[in-house]
Amino acid sequence: MTEAAELPPAPEQAREVFGDRFADAVRYAELLAEAGVQRGLIGPREVPRLWERHLLNCAVLSEVVPDNVTVCDVGSGAGLPGIPLALVRTDLKITLLEPLLRRTTFLTEVVELLGLDHVTVMRGRAEEVMGKIQPVHVVTARAVAPLDRLATWGIPLLRPYGEMLALKGDTAEEELKSASAALSKLGAVETSILHVGEGVVDPTSTVVRVEVGESPGGVRFAAKRAKAARTGRTRRRR
């Protein structure tokens, strides 16, 4: 049996980024390194680089998330980027959306342990929760799927004029080009590639931003959204 890798001490940048929630960030890193590995949520080889590659890489996404908005972290997995984002931004209302039970169980435990009252855990697939979740200002995601497929899941969950922020790697520009037609059909009106975390992570984190117009998801999802809204009103009347 391979010996578990040891979690390195938190780098100085983590104290600056997480501020008064630094101790909670350390506890979260410990949970990922222990229970996260034991339950198969992250690979043991990721433990030595949990801080730089995972927690800080995700926390710096906060640089481009507007103030006081609602956020849905699609395919949240072990809570990346949703939980680091929640630790640095208590002004946000965040939903961690994840289809697998063992992951939502872990996420619920983390949220309760860290006292993240502004975070909700929801089990389900993005394509199944329309009508069950209020449309949000921002959808976040990290390493969930190629951009075109990710957009079909995430964009329909947005409010009009909302945005999807996807943490991507070196393939960001290539993915954005190949997904341009699909994004247009889904109601995207503006796309850009951002680099965040200067002075915190090296290399900086790459974010693909997709901004939508008045019909997130395009015509097909506008009809589904209207139907879901009507169903919701009918249930409330009963």
213 annotated as a binding-site residue:
no
* pLDDT confidence band for 190 (50 / 70 / 90): very high
Residue length of the chain: 238
40 annotated as a binding-site residue:
no
Give the mean pLDDT of 110-123: 98
Separate counts of helices (H) and strands (E) for the chain: 10, 7
d(CA 100, CA 122): 10
Other Cβ atoms less than 10 A from the Cβ of 151: the count is 26
Contact 212, 160 (CB under 8 A): yes
Contact 186, 215 (CB under 8 A): no
Q: Quick check: bond before 81 cis, omega within 30?
A: yes
Give the mean pLDDT of 34-55: 96
> 154 pLDDT exceeds 70?
yes
Tell me the β-bridge partners of 211: 163, 190
SS3 state of residue 124 = coil
SS3 state of residue 107 = helix
With CA atoms as reference, report the closest residue to 209 among 196, 188, 191, 197: 191
75 annotated as a binding-site residue:
yes
> 179 pLDDT exceeds 50?
yes
**pLDDT tens-place string over residues 13-29:** 999 999 999 999 999 99
Query: What pLDDT score does 2 carry?
Result: 44
Q: Name the residue with higher pLDDT: 173 or 4.
A: 173
127 annotated as a binding-site residue:
yes
pTM (predicted TM-score): 0.91
183 annotated as a binding-site residue:
no
